Amino acid sequence: MVLELYMDLLSQPCRAVYIFAKKTNIPFMMKNIDMLKGQQFSEEFNKVNFLRKVPVLKDGDYILEESTAILLYLSRKYNTPSHWYPPDMKQRGRVDEYLAWQHTTIRANASKILWLKVVMPLFLGQQLPVEKVQEVTEDLNTSLKKLEDKFLQDKPFIIGTEVSLADLVALVELMQPLGAGMNVFEGRPKLLDWRKRVEASVGKDLFHEAHARILNEKELRSIQVDPALKAQLKPMFLRMLK
């Protein structure tokens, strides 16, 4: 059976899986799940993923959730080029280290910028307090400093001289604020040079194909949210702002 990947390319974990599968020539069928239309809550998707999250991998009867697990599964099953997830245990440990760290730091903070400046106003019909956005921006800046000083240092890539899953995941996450008009690479020459190297390694055409929607700020701000989803999530967003 053909490998199926359930994704919404507005989601940074989905984009990382999409780019990796495409770059390494893994054959798959993409099942688009539009989260802002509430498709993750459909009965059909519930049969695939009880947690109602994306991305999801379906390989025959085998279903796997969580983007990091999916990336590692694909790298092992399809024996992808070793630089993505090196056989050397110490280098592999560095990839694992970054993938474990990023969930509550880079990924969380970069995603919050888009949610606060673009997605939540779509649900609430109003712009959010500037101080709330500033708070998250400060947290993101702290995470970016750690990415540069701890993980990247003076190396071309996070684990050394070749691109890895750590670089792909990191860069995809840092594209998220661009959808809200925030360029996190401005004033950070080391990070900008790293971005160029990762994009070149992935392939600029593929990278920009995956990010076409997230980089169209005007389109993002005009998305029509499913009314039922808006009614369901609006109370939660209001509680988050208190």
The pLDDT tens digits of the residues spanning 193-227 come to: 999 999 999 999 999 999 999 998 888 888 888 88
**What pLDDT shows up at residue 211?**
96
List, for residues 14-72, the tens digit of each pLDDT value.
999 999 999 999 999 999 988 888 878 777 777 777 777 899 999 999 999 999 999 99
* Type of residue found at 139: D
pLDDT value for 164: 98
pLDDT of residue 34: 86
- 6, β-bridge pairs: 31, 56
Rounded average pLDDT over 95-115: 94
Q: How remote is the C-alpha of 56 from its chain's centroid?
A: 14
pLDDT for the residue numbered 42: 79
Domains of the chain: 4-77 (3.40.30.10), 89-240 (1.20.1050.10)
Among 25, 123, 134, 132, which Cα is nearest to 81's?
25
Average pLDDT over every residue of 116-136: 85
Model's pTM, two decimal places?
A: 0.93
Residues 6+ apart with CB under 8 A from 193: none
Q: Which two tokens stand for residue 86?
A: 């090196």
The answer to whether residues 179 and 118 touch, using CB atoms and an 8 Å cutoff, is yes
Residue 153 structure tokens = 């240092």
Check residue 63 and give left, alpha or beta (phi > 0: left; psi -120 to 50: alpha). beta
Residue 127 pLDDT greater than 90, yes or no: no
